Amino acid sequence: MKRQFSMIAVAMLTALIAAPAAAQSPQSAKVIQSFPAKDDVLKEQPLTAVRLEFDKPVELVLLSIRDPSGEKINVYPADGDFSETTVAAKVVELPLPAALTEVGRYQLSYLVTGESVKSLNGHIYFELQGKYPPPKFYVQIPYNGSYLSEPLTQIKMNLDQVITLQSLDVVRMVEVDDGVSVKTVMKTIATIVGADTPVTSELTGQEFKFPVDPSLTPPGKYGITYRFTVSHPDGSVSETTSTAKFTVSSTDE
């Protein structure tokens, strides 16, 4: 009898010790609903806030969005201060620093953690569309993400719709250390179409060519920042602003 009681006591003690360990075992969290939803297409509306709903309480570590130009928008923490903390919750809803209106494809990235929750990072892709489909490039030189073996000598743009160029700049990507973090900013090195450019029929069309002084783009990282408008049959006008980033390689690379 004593032996049986001893075995029961040991079993109960083992269960008591194991229970907290099991309770603390980290579990995976899942996104059960979001706005925008995965592969969502939002038509004729600016995006001003995002919402994520999880199947269990989580703590948000970071949330950011990359726009169609590849520029990163920090939503949380907005100022890059990772010392901020959030209260664990199933629903995370945040306003955006500025409304998203540019037509194109976006990527929302998030990282969450929490007590007894495995850290989870994920991505949600979505699109913004207007009433009319945005212009598409048949030819774009330089195109976003391109690598050039020599300095840029010409900008070429062929599109499937008639557009009116409002601005066109050559910019250099410059890293700036503000003491907290290193950020990449765009510094204009040449304005090809700007406020002082005479408005002529040459700025409206589907094909454009502009010469560029090659001395402006020695080896380094650059971009072509452009803004154009499209007039639609109903009298409305849509606007697109974007940056095509490119790299000029040195001869020994």
CA angle 228, 134, 96 (to 5 degrees): 80
pLDDT in tens, 195-218: 887 767 789 999 999 999 999 999
Confidence of residue 84 (pLDDT cuts 50, 70, 90): low
Confidence of residue 180 (pLDDT cuts 50, 70, 90): confident
Closest Cα partner for 100 from 35, 46, 37?
Answer: 46
Residue type, 241: T
Using CA atoms, how far apart are residues 241 and 230, in angstroms rounded to an integer? 12
Confidence of residue 251 (pLDDT cuts 50, 70, 90): low
Domain spanning 137-248 has what CATH number?
2.60.40
Question: Running DSSP on this structure, what letter comes out for residue 27?
Answer: B
Closest Cα partner for 144 from 249, 209, 224?
Answer: 224
- pTM for the model stands at 0.61
Mean pLDDT of all residues belonging to the chain:
85
Query: For the chain, what percent of residues have pLDDT higher than 90?
Result: 57
Whether the predicted pLDDT of 55 surpasses 80: yes
Closest Cα partner for 171 from 149, 195, 197, 192?
Answer: 192
Where, residue-wise, is CATH 2.60.40.1220 in the chain? 31-129
Instruction: Show the tokens assigned to 147.
Output: 């690598």
Domain spanning 31-129 has what CATH number?
2.60.40.1220
Whether the predicted pLDDT of 6 surpasses 70: no
Range with the poorest average pLDDT among 24-28, 185-189, 231-235: 24-28
Is the separation of the CB atoms in 106 and 66 below 8 Å? Answer: yes
**What pLDDT does 196 receive?**
82
Mean pLDDT of 34-43: 93
CA angle 30, 32, 33 (to 5 degrees): 135
The Cα-based distances of 109 to 41, 72, 98, 124 in angstroms read 17, 10, 17, 7
**What pLDDT does 16 receive?**
40
Mean pLDDT of 37-54: 91
